[in-house]
């Protein structure tokens, strides 16, 4: 059964979509986390009638999202709903998980890390753009080779906000926790 809930955040109202799961902490596996106006995201106005609004089902996920925005969580421990994406997209999304909090990597470096040729960097960028789990799966940590902010389905202003939030979180923790502005 598909469940959904909304929550406020510094990015605007988030739409959380999940599936009932006997193995997920809190009983819900996250299928999507969307921001308002997200390119390719699910909008609250478009929620299918068969979905059930159930904020209680997302208590654990929402707790982690609030902790992230509060600067006390650097890595999510959330079960993802199965079935999203192609094999290639899932490989790219898994690689996103390896980019540490407060750091960035380029599309090219991420491609190298997973064995994608230079010719495949555009496909990698497309896969990143189709990530259904903004914030939780950190696609915002991927930037242009020259350090510029490029491509983010939630908008570049939100990408900048997330990167700034993480930089501030690292600065508050001090250099013993990975420094500030490092690259992965």
Among candidate residues 11, 99, 124, 139, the one labeled active-site is 139
Q: Which phi and psi (to 5°) does residue 58 adopt?
A: -110, 15
> What whole-number distance in Å separates Cα of residue 97 and Cα of residue 108?
16
Pick from 8, 25, 10, 33: nearest CA to 60: 25
State yes or no: is 162 an active-site residue: no
Q: Mind spelling out the 3-state secondary structure of 16-51?
A: EEEEECCCCHHHEEEEEEECCCCCCCCCHHHCCCCC
User: Which residues are marked as active site?
Assistant: 139
């Amino acid at each position: 059964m598909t469940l959904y809930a909304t929550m406020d955040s510094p990015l605007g109202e988030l739409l959380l979509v999940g599936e009932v799961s006997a193995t997920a902490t809190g009983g819900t596996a996250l299928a999507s986390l969307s921001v308002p106006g997200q390119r390719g995201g699910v909008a609250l106005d478009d929620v299918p009638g068969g979905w059930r609004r159930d904020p209680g089902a997302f208590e654990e996920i929402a707790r982690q999202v609030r902790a992230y925005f509060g600067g006390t969580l650097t890595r999510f421990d959330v079960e993802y709903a199965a079935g999203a994406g192609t094999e290639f997209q899932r490989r790219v999304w898994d690689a996103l998980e390896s980019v540490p909090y407060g750091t960035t990597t380029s599309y090219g470096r991420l491609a190298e890390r997973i064995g994608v040729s230079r010719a495949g960097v555009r496909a990698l960028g497309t896969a990143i753009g189709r990530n259904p789990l903004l914030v939780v799966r950190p696609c915002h940590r991927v930037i242009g080779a020259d350090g510029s902010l490029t491509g983010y389905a939630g908008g570049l202003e939100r990408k900048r906000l997330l990167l700034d939030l993480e930089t501030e979180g690292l600065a508050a923790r001090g250099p013993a926790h990975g420094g500030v502005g490092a690259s992965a």
